[in-house]
Every structure is written in C-alpha cells, then in structure tokens.
C-alpha cells in the first residue's frame, strides 16, 4: 500500500483534532497545523471545515461499506450474511473507535450540510448492495417475514446501541467480548 495522500493526511489530522478538541472547538488552523498541509492545500481539497466534516464522515462509512463488501464476497448462506453485518460492524468499530464516535455524533450535521445528498446517495447504494446480497435468502424463506425497513434495525440495532454506550465508556463489558453474542442474537431475531 502506498503513502497516504495529502487529502488523507488532512482527514486523519481532522479526526485527531475532532477527537481531542471536539468538532465545534476545532479550527481550520488546528487541522492545518496537525496535518502539515498548507492552507491552500486544505482549501483546495475541501474548501471549508464543514466539507472536511462531511468528507471524514463519508470516508468512515465508506470504510465500513468496503469491509462488508469484501466480506460478502467470501461468505455464503443466510446466517453467514447476517453475522457478517454484525461482526463487520464490531470489527470496524474496534479498529476505528475515534472514527465510529465521530460518525455517531455527526450524522445529522452531515445530512444537513451541502454534502447531505451525497451521504444519502452513498447510503442508498450501500443498502442496495446489502439488499442484493440478502435477497436470495429472503426470497427462499430463510428470514422471518418483516417489513424491509425494520430488518436492518432488527439486525444491527442492538449492537449499535451497545456500541454507542461502549464508545461513551458506559459499559463494563468490552465490545469485543460481545461480538459473538450480538451476531447470534441478530441471527436468532431474523431466521425463519
């Protein structure tokens, strides 16, 4: 793998600043200082802080989506697909806790920004690929009948709730220790 790009350097610096200082308290100057980028480079790649926030958010959710897509290429079966959705989420969060925390707290801000439509389109495509992977199993009757818009919430909702608390330091149990439990709970909730 090659060296990260200047744009990647800026995003990583922004994430570090946001994690340490908070999104609102972080300034463009802080991000510039942390990344070592010139102010011209920063504005060339992003234009302003809100676009940095949106780009960081989109890159984070894109990383999770890429992890899932790579996993879907390797798994087969209704149960394996459901467990991948949960296990992949846990794995991504464990590998990227600051990014996960950032995403949990900034969705509304990004949705309301000028890049909100880009986020909605990325989510539509991501959910479409998940639906495409699950469709044969749904059609074969491997999953319980339930409204489609409830399905993902039933699968991922419990682990997302626990993760939110874990990221905030409100749990005694490690997220890693609950991975298999949440995978099984998700499968038990949707299997026919």
Kindly state the tokens that stand for 12. 């990583």
The pLDDT assigned to 1 comes to 45
Please, which residues bridge with residue 191 across strands? 143
How many CB atoms neighbour CB 164 within 10 A?
15
Ranges of H-type helices in the chain: 6-21, 28-35, 39-45, 49-72, 78-95, 97-111, 116-139, 148-167, 175-190
pLDDT in tens, the chain (192 residues): 455 688 999 999 999 999 999 999 999 999 999 999 998 999 899 989 999 999 999 999 999 999 999 999 999 999 999 999 999 999 999 999 999 999 999 999 999 998 899 999 998 999 899 999 999 999 999 999 999 889 989 999 999 999 999 999 999 999 999 999 999 999 999 999
Name 152's Cβ contacts closer than 8 Å, sequence gap at least 6. Answer: 85, 127, 130
- Three-state DSSP class for 132? helix
- Match 């790649």 to its residue by tokens: 45
What the chain holds in terms of domains, given with CATH numbers, is 1-47 (1.10.10.60), 53-190 (1.10.357.10)
Residue in 161, 158, 162, 165 with CA at minimum distance from that of residue 186: 158
CA distance 149 to 97: 27
Please, which residues bridge with residue 143 across strands? 191
Residues 162 and 175 sit within 8 Å (Cβ to Cβ):
yes
Length of the chain: 192
Helices (H) and strands (E) in the chain, counts: 9, 0
């Amino acid at each position: 793998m090659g060296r990260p790009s200047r744009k990647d350097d800026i995003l990583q610096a922004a994430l570090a600043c946001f994690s340490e200082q908070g999104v609102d308290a972080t300034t463009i100057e802080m991000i510039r200082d942390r990344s070592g980028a010139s102010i011209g480079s920063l504005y060339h790649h992003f234009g302003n802080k809100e676009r940095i926030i949106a780009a960081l958010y989109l890159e984070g959710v894109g990383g999770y989506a890429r992890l899932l897509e790579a996993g879907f290429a390797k798994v087969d079966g209704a149960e394996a697909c459901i467990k991948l959705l949960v296990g992949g989420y846990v794995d991504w969060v464990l590998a990227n806790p600051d990014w996960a925390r950032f995403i949990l707290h900034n969705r509304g801000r990004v949705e309301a920004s000028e890049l909100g439509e880009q986020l909605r389109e990325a989510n539509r495509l991501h959910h479409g690929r998940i639906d495409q992977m699950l469709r044969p199993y749904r059609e074969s009757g491997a999953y319980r009948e339930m409204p489609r818009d409830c399905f993902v919430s039933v699968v991922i909702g419990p682990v997302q709730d626990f993760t939110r608390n874990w990221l905030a330091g409100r749990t005694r149990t490690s997220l890693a220790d609950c991975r298999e439990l949440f995978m099984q709970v998700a499968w038990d909730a949707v299997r026919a």
